[in-house]
Structure 1
Amino acid sequence: MSLDPRTPVVVGVGEASERIGEPGYAALSPVGLGAAAAAAALADTGADPAAVAAALTVVAGVRQFEMSVPGAVAPLGRADNYPRAVARRVGADPRRAVLDVVGGQSPQRLVSEFAGAIARGEAGAVLLVGAEAMSTVRDLMSRPEAERPDHGEHVGGTLEDRGYGSELRSPVAEAHGVLSPAAYYALCENARRARLGLARDAYAHGMGELFAPFTRVAAGHPHAAAPRVREPDELVTTDDRNRMITDPYPRFLVSRDQVNQGAAAVLTSVGTAHDLGIDPQRWVFLHGHADLTEHAVLDRPDLGAYPAAEAAVRHALDRAGTGVDDLAAIDLYSCFPIAVSSVADPLGLAADDPRGLTVTGGLPFFGGPGNDYSMHAVAEVVRRLRADPGTYGLVGANGGFLSKYSAGVYSTRPAPWRDDDSAALQARLDAVPTVPTTTAADGAATVETWTVRHDRDGSRHAVVVGRLDDGGARFIGCGRDDELPELLAGDPAGAAVRVRPDGKLTIVTPR
């Protein structure tokens, strides 16, 4: 077909990783890993890497975890301009350097954003890159101070730092002990179980059945952090190695952030790809895309659902003119089981779908390199589509606490650039009525969902979300330690409780 020369294409992808103690381990910094992945992506174009690097007008970086919250400290230091630090190492000097907002949606969102910029003639060639070296940093920090390297780099130059993005954490939830992503997701997971009416054991087995195929994919991926096949029961049976983190999540079901991984993608226009001599057989087109956000966690009508994710995937597929059944490669973000099931359920994707629900092995097994996981998914989807020309692949990228979803549908099949209609979709999602909440709950109530944080010292901390019987307002509270066994006996969802204010806290007791 005749294509506008400004049509965007993915022309190169690359990954880099290392595991402590293995041959060739170099203890690379996040910049070093990002540069290695970027160099691999430039080489993957099949053209002269130096020429492709010289053509880059934009380098956009995924924000690392060590700079993802205000006041965070990088223990070994960090580059003052991450995108330009990577660019300098691969011989690029882009006009624009961008550091994106926090969230696992960032890699796919950047692909969509800069593909659109290329289509509008605002960019000719773009490098997207991210990396984390959390495993290396932890290891180096265990050494004497004199043996620790300095990862700080002064690069300077212009930088479009987009900051931290919208504030997702709830101060009220944090005051009651919801201090980690695992706790937020656990509340949503238990809400889903309550809606489905499943007993604990049956639900746990389902989570194991969902993630066991992921381990098989990870076992065959060269960049996986934990390449080992595990059976469903092994994933959900607690023991010394698989301790309970936050009910219902043992360690094996939680995103693995202690990794050293980087990934990158090169986007150009069709015209620039021709000029650089990049073989059209290496081009992969973004056929459809969407980026949507959800209500704040405690405002959602159904704490166990993620309508923004379903809407994003369906819209991306609609724009691509294809459907779920036509996909040959699928990667659904998998920091916790509900991040997969809340998308797979409404799309009719089963845990044992022969196509699989991941192309990498997922965040608990392939690895969860901070906000950058889905750049690895993009890289693997691109490789698979090149190997099977004309087929379609889906990347679904999740950020926050089931909060922000970016979806992209890819194929080697040539296609013109298609803008999405996310604004209209977002307006409809925003118009969905929220649940009234209160920070002054007092009286009889019913448990809606709950979780228990299990600390290493054996202590437990219960968090309860419920509705007041009078008026139905939603509240979040915590349980008294001496009443936990009674409060959590049997199945807490639907249990009758009493709540009362205690300073800034809401205390939940059995009724």
Structure 2
Amino acid sequence: MTIRATPIVVGVGETKNCSQKVSDAIEPLVLILQSIHEALKDTSLSDSERGKLQAEIDGISVVAPWTWNYYDLPGLIARKLGVEPSYKTISEHNGASPARLFDEAARRISFGECKVAVVTGGEAMASLMACAAAGKMPPPGWEEADEDAEGIAGSSTFRKAHNIGNTHGIGLPIQVYPLYENAFRAHRNQTIRENNKESAKLYAEFAKVAEKHPMAWNYGQPAADEASIGTVSKKNRMICFPYPLLMNAFNNVNVAGSCILTSTEYAKELGIPENQWIYPLGGAGTIDSAHFWERPNYFASPAISKSLDAGLEVSGLTKDDIGIFDFYSCFPIVPKLACQHLGFSPSKPEKPITLLGGLTSFGGAGNNYSMHALAAMVRELRKGNAENGLVLANGGVVTYQHVVCLSTKPRKTPYPDENPLLTEVPDESPAIEERPEGEAIVETYTVDFSRDGKAKRGFIVGKLCKKGHRFLANEEDKATLLQLASDEREPIGRKGWVKSAGNGKGRNLFCFDAAEKL
């Protein structure tokens, strides 16, 4: 019988380049290497023993960066570290990747397929944007870019896709997450203003956390308060209803983070103190439909719910066993959906639900935000602030989810053999009508705003009253657009009419019923 190893985290490291000067631009590869060396230092080993640990790295898992397309980023990292790992991988573009790679690394150590695993990622978007604004290339020394690789976060994929989302100009995160916020609000019978207040209060609390986190982009700056977050202004313009700027992820940051995992056996051999050990207990993740219009509804996420439940179960825990949570928070709706499923109040959660402060105040860190959450969780558990912690990583447009649980105590059984969830949640969506005609009802919606603060375009997800089939549409007229953009009356559940535009563009148009009682 093969004896399974017990995986542990022995080092976590982070780094940040605060400068946004072109001359100070440091590429993601360098930031990543800095964070790995910080993680090696975090093991509390002597220089010679750290060198031995580094030499034994045989697994490198990298979260794909938005900033720069490398030809072989895991290979570059390996060469710079002077190692030849038997396992190298780079993730797809989504924010659930850090948790998934972490879970998989723990599993490989458990099976004896890996002795020392590094899970890492980094971004230099602030530097890249500074270069773009100056009309300059990054300073000499950056690795050559792979010009044929996929663009930032798959944005080019969205532009090229031929589907009803693209036809109607919707599919980006800033557009789809608001669809969920609006539907979630209506499902709970909140008014639009009550919902805004709840979101502002939630993010004000998150901002206080980021204010004290050294790796946060806003570290040291006064935290934005509830009034400034919830009030639309020139500095806090509406992006897509109901989210003003300070409820959107802020991605222009220069940060990197790494975790080092090994087995208890090798940690003992090296002499890594046991008070440095944190035990991964298990993980689980799944995916909702890549096409947001094929989701069951917009007031819940089956992938979030299933990942939370399975992640806890496979780790041998219940929600009551968790002392600290970190819920991904690119927009307020993600922590709200997680809280709703676990029975917490989003405005007054029973336990901490962020260790970083969210992607607005901490910084988006591209796909790598939850790597920093994992690092923060390890530190909190080491301090004795909780026995067990849970990290929920989210990606796409409420699409990709992965949960991992960590503890100060080991599992009683070997690390789980596999992810307990199917790759994708089975499709349970209503039938889609691509060319709808007739009376219809609004299921959810959002509105794009221009930089001058004016409503620009409406996006409606609706259902035909007779068939119950779902459709996508834009607004037909200015009156409908202004009603969608107003906080005076709830558009969800209201009736109107939908038709195909007939202009060769394939768009559908929706307007509210003029005869509807106001």
**Common fold: TM-score over 0.5:** yes
> Pick from 359, 364, 371: which aligns with 1:368?
364
Any idea what SS the aligned residue of 1:398 has? strand
Aligned: 1:348 with 2:347:
no
Q: Which amino acid aligns with 2:414?
A: W
Aligned: 1:476 with 2:452:
no
Q: Which amino acid aligns with 2:359?
A: L
Does the C-alpha gap of structure 1 residues 493 and 354 become closer, same or farther in structure 2, counting only changes over 3 Å? closer
1:185-212 deviation line (CA, Å, top 9, x unaligned): 1111111112112111011001112222
Any idea what SS the aligned residue of 2:474 has? strand
Does the C-alpha gap of structure 1 residues 292 and 329 become closer, same or farther in structure 2, counting only changes over 3 Å? same
Cα distance between partner residues in 1 of 2:484 and 2:178: 17
Q: CA deviation at 1:316?
A: 1.9
Cα distance between partner residues in 1 of 2:56 and 2:483: 65
Q: Which amino acid aligns with 1:510?
A: F
Q: CA deviation at 1:498?
A: 0.9
| Structure 2 equivalent of residue 456 of structure 1 | 451
Residues 288 and 420, structure 1, Cα contact 8 Å, conserved in 2: no
Cα distance between partner residues in 1 of 2:145 and 2:109: 30
1:69-127 deviation line (CA, Å, top 9, x unaligned): xxxxx5xxx53211222333333332332111121110000011111111111111111
Does the C-alpha gap of structure 1 residues 488 and 264 become closer, same or farther in structure 2, counting only changes over 3 Å? closer
1:13-72 deviation line (CA, Å, top 9, x unaligned): 0001122269xx942111111111111111112223321111011111101124xxxxxx
Aligned: 1:419 with 2:416:
yes
| Structure 2 equivalent of residue 87 of structure 1 | 78
Any idea what SS the aligned residue of 1:145 has? coil
Q: Which amino acid aligns with 2:109?
A: I
| Structure 2 equivalent of residue 434 of structure 1 | 429
Cα distance between partner residues in 1 of 2:77 and 2:218: 27
Q: CA deviation at 1:315?
A: 1.9
Does the C-alpha gap of structure 1 residues 232 and 92 become closer, same or farther in structure 2, counting only changes over 3 Å? same
Cα distance between partner residues in 1 of 2:20 and 2:175: 32
Cα distance between partner residues in 2 of 1:207 and 1:93: 47
Cα distance between partner residues in 1 of 2:138 and 2:36: 28
Residues 480 and 509, structure 1, Cα contact 8 Å, conserved in 2: yes
Cα distance between partner residues in 1 of 2:228 and 2:135: 37
Any idea what SS the aligned residue of 2:368 has? helix
Q: CA deviation at 1:150?
A: 5.3
Structure 2, unaligned runs of 5 or more: 147-152, 514-518
Identity of aligned residues (%): 30
What is the alpha-carbon root mean square deviation over aligned residues? Answer: 2.5
Q: CA deviation at 1:293?
A: 1.5
Cα distance between partner residues in 2 of 1:488 and 1:108: 37
Q: Which has the higher mean CA deviation after the structures are superposed, 130-139 or 406-415?
A: 406-415
Q: Which has the higher mean CA deviation after the structures are superposed, 204-213 or 377-386?
A: 204-213
Q: CA deviation at 1:274?
A: 2.4
The within-5 A match list for 1:123-202 is 123-143=114-134, 145=136, 148-149=139-140, 151-153=142-144, 171-202=163-194
| Structure 1 equivalent of residue 331 of structure 2 | 336
1:258-299 deviation line (CA, Å, top 9, x unaligned): 111100001112222223322222111111311112234212
Cα distance between partner residues in 2 of 1:272 and 1:230: 45
Cα distance between partner residues in 2 of 1:314 and 1:395: 13
Aligned: 1:283 with 2:277:
yes
Cα distance between partner residues in 1 of 2:207 and 2:358: 8
Q: Which amino acid aligns with 2:277?
A: W
Equivalent residue pairs, number:
487
The within-5 A match list for 1:258-273 is 258-273=252-267
Any idea what SS the aligned residue of 2:314 has? helix
Residues 257 and 370, structure 1, Cα contact 8 Å, conserved in 2: yes
| Structure 2 equivalent of residue 498 of structure 1 | 497
Cα distance between partner residues in 1 of 2:94 and 2:35: 20
| Structure 1 equivalent of residue 382 of structure 2 | 386
Residues 132 and 260, structure 1, Cα contact 8 Å, conserved in 2: yes
